[in-house]
Amino acid sequence: MSNMLEVKFSAKSENESLSRVIVASFAAKLDPTLDEISDIKTAVSEAVTNAIIHGYDEDESKFVYLRCEIKDRTIKVVVEDRGNGIEDVEEAMQPMYTSKPELERSGMGFSFMESFMDNLDVISIQGEGTKVVMTKTIELPK
């Protein structure tokens, strides 16, 4: 079984909640537990928020790209921006690291994504953008 969804939306903070609903609805066919769906939604929130705040510096004229794919029991979520990119991905993925301390950001976005999903890959090129690829396998209901 395979299914795919692509969405493009304005880089507005209000669309972060929309992305959560989209992914949760798409994942529902896998019959996830409430904890599993909450984990996915949290990871998506963090990725979308990073794209808006860090990728685009909150430029609402830009777009965030969301792609979801289900193969067998695994959901793959890709959140992409075509913005600033990350200078040092390894450093950015360290807990408590933030490039915008003036915004009182916690620096835990990537840590949350890593802990709530089974796999996290971050591909970024400065000046071209960032792609966050996350996967989670949903076990069959017992």
Give the residue numbers annotated as catalytic, written as ranges. 46, 50, 105
DSSP-assigned states of every residue in 78-140? EEEE-SS--S-HHHHTSTT--S-GGGT--S-HHHHHHHHSSEEEEEEETTTEEEEEEEEEPPP
**Cα within 13 Å of Cα(113), Cβ side:** 26
Q: What residues are paired with 136 via a beta bridge?
A: 75
Q: Which DSSP letter does residue 142 get?
A: -
